Structure 1
Amino acid sequence: MLKKLVPLCLLACIALAGCSSANKITKDLLISSEPPGATVFLDGDKIGETPLKVQTFFTWNKDELYNSLLRRVIQVKKDGYESQVRDLYPIDMPTIQFLLNHENTKGDAK
């Protein structure tokens, strides 16, 4: 049910943003992890290490829906921990936190 509400909320926010054919929504985002020091990737591009404050954007083009960017992909990686990937929507702002789990290695199980 919640997954159905997210796109509807996004469309409502975008509709209220203006009447031009292309709108850009810019948001501040604070990315943190436990433990800190994880490398952060946004849409596959390395943008820094946690904790990290960045400004990101989403676009909406009512004339060309398929050229709109309503979802970003955020990934964190840290040596010795499992990497995590999440979809990021404007409604998820302004903070996102990752709780990293230790990697399972063959030497750990006895």
Structure 2
Amino acid sequence: MYQNHDFQQSVGAAEYEFRSAERLTIPLDATLRTETGEEFAVRLRDISSLGFMMECEDIVPIGSRVELLLAPLEPLAAEVRWGLAGWIGCRFHNELGWDKLFLKLIGRGAELA
């Protein structure tokens, strides 16, 4: 868990609390699609039922509506909630069930964090 005071200050208390949700550590390559149809290569770092954190070299503005493209899941609609030096955090529009995430992703190298 990211129990780091500097991180908490940089993203705000509400987003830090969101980060405390149980998540899977899952370093996988994925694609992020913006509402304009642009697609960016990203490196997913973790995912929870509420959202995900990724590395992304491209700038995606906070508040952008995006989709995470990660096989074998259907595109996952989300909103960019924070960005910090190449890292982006997104919150899903609809909370996902752990069964959907766990069963489909654990076989791809995920670890429960």
- If the TM-score is normalised by the length of the shorter chain, which range does it land in? 0.3 to 0.5
Q: Normalising by structure 1, what TM-score?
A: 0.37
Q: Normalising by structure 2, what TM-score?
A: 0.36
- The structure having more radius of gyration, on CA atoms, is 1
